[in-house]
Amino acid sequence: MNKRIGILTYHGVNNYGAVLQAYGLCQVMKDLGLDVRIIDYIPVWMRNQYYPSRILLRLFIRPWQKVLSVVHKDIISTKNTHRRQDSIAISEEGIGLSTIKILRYFMPLIRIKRLTNFRKKFQLFRKEYLPLTEKKYLRSEQLSSLQNEFDCIFVGSDQVWNVNINRNDLSYFLNFLSNRAITKRVSYAASVGDTFDFGQLRESVESLLKGFSKISVRDEKSQDTISSMINFKPMIVLDPSLIADYDYITPPRVIGQPYVFMYFLQNPNRYKLVISILRDVFPYHRFITVLHPIKGARLINSGPLQWLSLIKHADFVCTDSFHGTCFAIKNKKRFVTLPINSARVHRIKDLLFRIKLADRFISDLSIKTIEEKIKDLVHNEIDYETSYIELDNLIDASRQYIIEAINAN
């Protein structure tokens, strides 16, 4: 299969799942003997959200904005006080309060070093493990130069069709390819995320979807959304993280002692009850986390490779993440998934239901339910033998979809 394949996905974000699924899809295609490149498209929304210069600028500017606001209020308060004695008292109290606030406002600046190291690890991963195009594309208009550059362009995986994330960027529907382009258009495990209606974009999206030779999605919600716009139901395939082999790039064990891995995309303060329950169940384990600090847990500044190792060697995984769930399953870990963010619920539930692991998902976040279910789940071994019968069938079907998509006329 000596063909040149392009992949358009969210490889440029500093997110574990995003870069690892991009790597996974590349590996699957390389195993098929394909010449694959990830189109190095880094649009404005991605640069604003993930590029460190902008993040650091926000971290520096916001404290000063808040400081000036507090000082301004103190001045107004002082001016409005007619008696000098009261004026001095209020002013001093205001200055004292301002000092506390000023220190608190500048606390985020201590994150700069950690944020910079975090970003560098992702940059190194992309440089070493992702086969990027030589040219970097910063604007959607630049993508038009890719006419007939590839035999086929795959869009996906990840939430590439979630217009709430990509700011209505139709590049992810391959609008930059002209009608005369011979490049085949294929989607692989594309997800609409929390997009329920494309609104004013609906007509354009419908038209662009008709230009795809094959369409597959990652979950039932995406399937229903897309099928409402075209005349057939797209095939549901697995996220690349469940198909590809990551053993070759996974580092040795990072933590020597037994540990529980807590991977939360949302602020873990919302999971205080879960953490306290797990501490009772694992009194002699260390608790390891990334991204957000958790009281009593060790925060590790982890890149994608270290993250793979942390999941692989954990005794238990607790997560609210789709890809956290995928890699827990891939490594046959005991785990529990409890997403607070409703936008993630459907795709996680869909995956777990299809491989007979629906009981590992906690959707009822009432205190009583969480306590009862977690205490039950942490002690129960997972019947991965049964689950992998289903998973292996889905892996074969997903691989076959890629082969058929590439060979289709």
pLDDT of residue 373: 85
pLDDT digits (tens, 9 = 90+) for 161-186: 999 999 999 999 999 999 889 999 99
Q: 385 in a domain, yes or no?
A: no
Domain boundary pick from 61, 83, 105: 105
pLDDT for 117 beyond 60: yes
Closest CA to 290 of 282, 299, 281: 299
DSSP H helices in 220-321? 220-227, 272-281, 304-312
pLDDT of residue 82: 47
CA angle 160, 393, 153 (to 5 degrees): 30
Lowest mean pLDDT among 116-125, 207-216, 341-350: 341-350
Number of domains observed in the structure of the chain: 3
Q: 97 in a domain, yes or no?
A: yes
Residue 268 confidence class, pLDDT cut points 50, 70, 90? confident
pLDDT of residue 362: 87
pLDDT digits (tens, 9 = 90+) for 94-115: 444 455 555 555 555 566 777 7
pLDDT of residue 371: 80
Instruction: Examine the domain organization and report whether 13 and 154 are in the same domain.
Output: yes
Closest CA to 50 of 22, 10, 100, 87: 10
How buried is 21 (Cβ within 10 angstroms: 0-12 exposed, 13-18 middle, 19+ buried)? buried
Instruction: Examine the domain organization and report whether 368 and 287 are in the same domain.
Output: yes
| Angle separating helix axes 52-79 and 84-105, nearest 10 degrees | 170
Going through 311-392 in order, the beta strands assigned E by DSSP cover 316-319, 335-337
Q: Please tell me the distance from the alpha carbon of residue 74 to that of residue 97, in angstroms, as a whole number.
A: 10
The length of the chain, given as a count of residues: 409
Instruction: Examine the domain organization and report whether 100 and 131 are in the same domain.
Output: no
Q: 266 in a domain, yes or no?
A: yes
pLDDT for 295 beyond 50: yes
Q: Please tell me the distance from the alpha carbon of residue 371 to that of residue 286, in angstroms, as a whole number.
A: 20
Instruction: Examine the domain organization and report whether 17 and 125 are in the same domain.
Output: yes
Q: 58 or 195, which is more confident?
A: 195
pLDDT of residue 296: 83
Sheet holding 4-8, edge to edge: 132-137, 35-41, 4-8, 152-155, 184-187
Q: 390 or 75, which is more confident?
A: 390
Instruction: Examine the domain organization and report whether 169 and 282 are in the same domain.
Output: no
Please give the single-letter amino acid code of residue 228. Answer: S
The structure tokens 């590029």 sit at 51
Lowest mean pLDDT among 61-65, 116-120, 400-404: 61-65
CATH code for position 341: 3.40.50.2000
Q: Please tell me the distance from the alpha carbon of residue 129 to that of residue 199, in angstroms, as a whole number.
A: 37
Q: 252 in a domain, yes or no?
A: no
Instruction: Examine the domain organization and report whether 285 and 352 are in the same domain.
Output: yes
* Containing structural domain, residue 235: 4-43+115-244+396-407
Instruction: Examine the domain organization and report whether 26 and 56 are in the same domain.
Output: no
Instruction: Examine the domain organization and report whether 173 and 78 are in the same domain.
Output: no
pLDDT for 261 beyond 90: yes
DSSP 8-state assignment for residue 83? S
Q: 386 in a domain, yes or no?
A: no
Mean pLDDT, the chain, integer: 86
Residue 126 confidence class, pLDDT cut points 50, 70, 90? very high
Q: 89 or 386, which is more confident?
A: 386
pLDDT of residue 86: 43
Residue 13 confidence class, pLDDT cut points 50, 70, 90? very high
Q: 90 in a domain, yes or no?
A: yes
Domain boundary pick from 58, 87, 105: 105
Q: 60 or 327, which is more confident?
A: 327
pLDDT for 55 beyond 80: no
pLDDT of residue 57: 53
pLDDT of residue 89: 38
**Share above pLDDT 90 across residues of the chain, in percent, rounded to a whole number:** 65
**Share above pLDDT 70 across residues of the chain, in percent, rounded to a whole number:** 83
pLDDT of residue 358: 94
> 357: which 2 tokens?
């692991």
Going through 174-244 in order, the beta strands assigned E by DSSP cover 184-187, 216-217, 235-236
Instruction: Examine the domain organization and report whether 26 and 165 are in the same domain.
Output: yes
pLDDT digits (tens, 9 = 90+) for 70-81: 555 555 555 555
Instruction: Examine the domain organization and report whether 156 and 268 are in the same domain.
Output: no
Instruction: Examine the domain organization and report whether 267 and 403 are in the same domain.
Output: no
Lowest mean pLDDT among 64-73, 247-256, 333-342: 64-73
Instruction: Examine the domain organization and report whether 37 and 59 are in the same domain.
Output: no
